[in-house]
Amino acid sequence: MDVPHDEAIATAPEVLQQPTPPPAESRAAGSTDTHIAEQHNTKQMDVDEENSGPDMLSPMSAEGDKPEESELPSLSNTDLGSPSMGYDFSNIRLFPSSPSSFLRAGSKFHGTQQSERQVYDVQVEIKHVDMRESFLCGYLRIQGLTEDHPTLTTYFEGEIIGSKYTFLTQHQDWGSTDKVDLQHWAKFSAFRPFHHKAKKGHFHIPQLAQRENIFMRWKEHFLVPDHRVRTISGASFEGFYYICFNQIQGTVSGIYFHAKSEKFQQLELKHVEDRGCFAAMEFR
């Protein structure tokens, strides 16, 4: 945009610096030509300014708006190695907290649930374990419970006894009492060291992840895949399991409780060998 203006300025000195002054008529003609050229250049500049729009900046003003190098934020080596995910996301990787290779997301267990008259095939698949929140969840599949439904799968959530939950059940709608809790926990030999302290209700197990046995409560919530079904003729999932999990052997021992069901139904499961391979997923 500035090029026509520079040419006009460069042309004017060439006319004024002639070695021999021309005649008056030539000077008048030269002045007239110069004046016409200046008017033409001025008009050309006006047209260029109108076409450029109000947002165009001259090279000098554009450079003046640039921040100085000292004002630019410096990038550390860690920033270059790990691109930022924005203010709403963290660059810190979150790893799942599971105490052993058996009690983790993806682990499968297989065994039986036995009553006085029947033995049922049971499979359990753990979907998520969070020791910091004393929580886990998964699917429990039982076969042969009813003729109309040869296979039933339920979604369950577990409370891990330790820093957050005690041996005494804190859910009135589960139908258990402190006396019922202690009666069922007493069926596990691993519970004996905690029997007297568990009566106080506020007792917590320290260093839970380093212990051989982990105690839990597993509560079934709904059927899978149709979660709208709440009752089934000949079967019930309104109760819950008292669980003792052995971290060394990878075994699950449980006792099912429901106020209207047969007492002390035993659950015995063993870890399904997967050669240490399991699926893992990380959301970023």
pLDDT, position 81: 47
pLDDT, position 93: 53
pLDDT, position 227: 73
Tally helices (H) and strands (E) across the chain.
6, 8
**220: pLDDT confidence band, cut at 50, 70 and 90?**
very high
Tokens of 21: 């002054």
Whether the Cβ atoms of residue 125 and residue 278 lie closer than 8 Å to each other: no
Is the pLDDT at 16 greater than 70? The verdict is no
* 279 CB-near residues (< 8 Å, 6+ apart): 105, 106
By percentage, how much of the chain surpasses pLDDT 90?
Answer: 40
Residues 100-149: pLDDT tens digits? Answer: 679 999 999 999 999 888 999 999 999 999 998 999 999 999 998 887 78
185 vs 223: which has the higher pLDDT: 185
Average the pLDDT over 10-29 and give the result: 47
DSSP 119-133: EEEEEEEEEEEETTT
**4: pLDDT confidence band, cut at 50, 70 and 90?**
very low
**282: pLDDT confidence band, cut at 50, 70 and 90?**
low
Tokens of 69: 């190098």
**How far is 67 from 82, CA to CA, in rounded Å?**
26
**254: pLDDT confidence band, cut at 50, 70 and 90?**
very high
Q: Which of 19-28, 204-213, 264-273 has the highest mean pLDDT?
A: 264-273
**153: pLDDT confidence band, cut at 50, 70 and 90?**
very high
pTM, two decimal places: 0.64
CA distances, 101 to each of 159, 252, 271 (Å): 19, 14, 10
Residues 54-97: pLDDT tens digits? Answer: 444 444 444 445 445 445 445 444 444 444 445 455 565 555 55
Ramachandran quadrant class, 106 (left: phi over 0; alpha: psi -120 to 50; beta: rest) = left
pLDDT, position 79: 45
- Sign of dihedral through CA atoms 165, 168, 172, 173? positive
Average the pLDDT over 199-226 and give the result: 87
Average the pLDDT over 149-177 and give the result: 92
pLDDT, position 66: 47
pLDDT, position 279: 55
